[in-house]
Amino acid sequence: MSTLGRVKLSQGVEWGLHCATLLVLAPPGATIGRAILARHYGLPEAYLAKHLQAMARAGVLRATPGPKGGYQLARSADQITVLDVVEAIEGAAKPFLCQEIRQRGTGALPAEACRRPCAVHVIMEEAHQAWQDSLRQTTLADIAAKIPTWIRDRNQTLLTETP
């Protein structure tokens, strides 16, 4: 069987979260260019740009053009949840779209019997809520706090050097 549809997250989510974490460690007010970010993780710069743009559009990051420009967090790290980043990249659309098939076909139910959302819809919605709640519980500050000091220091020097 060729693995039919799967609930797959874009790889951009991983990229975005790691880059955002790196920005947390940057000095306040400083910006990091996408070229530096891409090289730091060995990512294709042009494609990473797409995800960084998405985060900027969503209000998670702030982009400044020109020399010495780059990206920085749009607000405090403890005010940005993982869900914010994920939805910025993947989009905030509900994963399950109820097509109301109970109202179609030979077994179609009358509209007045469908005032309440169907049970399937409710269950999928609750699961999605649980997923969102889980991602909301962690902020970028929490992630950054888990990073060992020596890595933090090393990144500081890595990101400030100008090749």
Task: Indicate whether 153 belongs to the interface with a second copy (CB under 8 A).
Answer: no
Task: Indicate whether 24 belongs to the interface with a second copy (CB under 8 A).
Answer: no
Rounded Cα–Cα distance for residues 60 and 72 (Å): 9
Q: Which does 114 bind (CB under 5 to 8 A by kind): DNA, a second copy, none?
A: none
Q: 127-154: b or e for each residue (b if 16 or more CB lie within 10 Å)?
A: eeeeeeeeeeeebbeebbeeeeeeeeee
3-state secondary structure of 30: coil
Nearest approach, Cβ of 144 to DNA (angstroms)?
20
Between residue 81 and residue 140, which ones bind DNA under the rule CB under 7 A?
Answer: none
Alpha-carbon distances of 123 from 6, 56, 60, 132, rounded to whole Å: 18, 33, 30, 14
Rounded Cα–Cα distance for residues 93 and 97 (Å): 9
Q: Which does 153 bind (CB under 5 to 8 A by kind): DNA, a second copy, none?
A: none
Q: Closer to DNA at the Cβ: 11 or 76? A: 11
Between residue 54 and residue 73, which ones bind DNA under the rule CB under 7 A?
Answer: 56-57, 63-71
Q: Supply φ then ψ for residue 121, to 5 degrees.
A: -60, -45
Task: Indicate whether 15 belongs to the interface with a second copy (CB under 8 A).
Answer: yes
From 75, 78, 120, 160, residue interacting with a second copy (rule: CB under 8 A): 120
Task: Indicate whether 96 belongs to the interface with a second copy (CB under 8 A).
Answer: yes
- Tell me the two tokens of residue 75: 């607000």
Strands (E), 15-134: 61-64, 70-73
Q: Closer to DNA at the Cβ: 55 or 140? A: 55
Q: Closer to a second copy at the Cβ: 11 or 64? A: 11
Q: Which stretch binds a second copy (CB under 8 A): 27-35, 60-68, 71-79, 129-137?
A: 129-137
Residue 90 burial class via C-beta count within 10 angstroms: exposed 0-12, middle 13-18, buried 19 and up = middle
Nearest approach, Cβ of 150 to DNA (angstroms)?
27
